[in-house]
């Protein structure tokens, strides 16, 4: 069977809109998960007792439950308690909840990589705790955490493919709908793969560039 180019041209605008929606959901989810991850990693690094136990419980829960289950709970479970959340809000909350745990571990590994000699040097020149965190600990931790952060961002973008189960017209939802209606499986899957490549390759190259720049700034390599 010949490749149906007319079908691709006809539905390309639909894929464009679905791609923009996927980008918007992923961007909000990644941004919020980074903020949540940084906060959690700082709590663990500075060993805040009661809050630290809660954070560790959250990280284990978020990393050991599938996003699909989390979305089902948000979209179908919570409304039973009288709390109504839109499908887009559920998607962003789900991505944030899942990504926050992974981002926290990435930042925590970076924070723990800062040597005691660096901390002692900061104390010796009179830096307070805030200045130590801002000028000594966090910059070095970020350079170590960048590869993991990049992998987590790519992971979260790919996880948007399950959003179709909560009635969001994303790339995967559109693909399944078109296959069910027209049976042009090869064409629709081809467009789907290309769309995800266009989403993920720039992110991958961006973090590779950032990692190299940080390595050059730190080691001159």
Residue by residue, DSSP assigns 114-177 as: S-HHHHHHHHHTT--HHHIIIIIIHHHHHHHHHHHHHHHHHHHHHHGGGGGGGT---HHHHHHH
Above 70 in pLDDT, residue 29? yes
pTM above 0.75, yes or no: yes
| Dihedral in degrees, nearest 10, Cα atoms 177, 67, 87, 175 | -10
Above 60 in pLDDT, residue 196? yes
The predicted-structure confidence for 90-99, as pLDDT tens digits, reads as follows 999 999 999 9
Segment among 63-67, 75-79, 132-136, 192-196 with least mean pLDDT? 132-136
Find the mean pLDDT for residues 192-206: 92
What does the alpha-carbon distance between residue 58 and residue 52 come to, in Å, rounded to a whole number?
10
Domains and CATH numbers, the chain: 5-219 (1.10.3720.10)
Residue pair 102/63 in contact by the 8 Å Cβ criterion: yes
pLDDT over 70 for what percent of the chain? 96
Q: Can you give the C-alpha Rg of the chain in angstroms? A: 21
What does the alpha-carbon distance between residue 180 and residue 191 come to, in Å, rounded to a whole number?
16
């Amino acid at each position: 069977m010949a490749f149906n180019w007319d079908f691709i041209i006809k539905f390309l605008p639909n894929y464009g809109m679905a791609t923009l929606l996927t980008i918007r959901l992923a961007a909000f989810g990644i941004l919020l998960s980074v903020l949540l991850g940084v906060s959690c990693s700082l709590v663990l690094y500075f060993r805040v007792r009661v809050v630290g136990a809660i954070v560790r419980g959250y990280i284990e829960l978020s990393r050991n439950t599938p996003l699909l289950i989390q979305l089902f709970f948000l979209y179908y479970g919570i409304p039973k308690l009288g709390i109504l959340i839109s499908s887009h809000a559920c998607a962003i909350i789900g991505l944030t909840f899942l990504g926050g745990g992974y981002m926290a571990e990435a930042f925590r590994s970076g924070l723990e990589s800062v040597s005691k000699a660096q901390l002692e040097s900061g104390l010796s020149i009179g830096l307070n705790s805030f200045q130590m965190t801002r000028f000594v600990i966090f910059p070095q931790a970020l350079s170590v955490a960048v590869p993991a952060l990049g992998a987590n961002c790519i992971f979260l973008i790919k996880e948007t493919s399950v959003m179709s189960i909560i009635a969001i017209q994303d790339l995967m939802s559109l693909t399944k709908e078109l296959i069910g209606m027209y049976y042009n499986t090869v064409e629709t899957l081809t467009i789907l793969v290309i769309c995800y490549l266009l989403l993920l390759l720039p992110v991958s190259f961006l973090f590779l560039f950032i990692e190299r720049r940080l390595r050059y700034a730190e080691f001159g390599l």
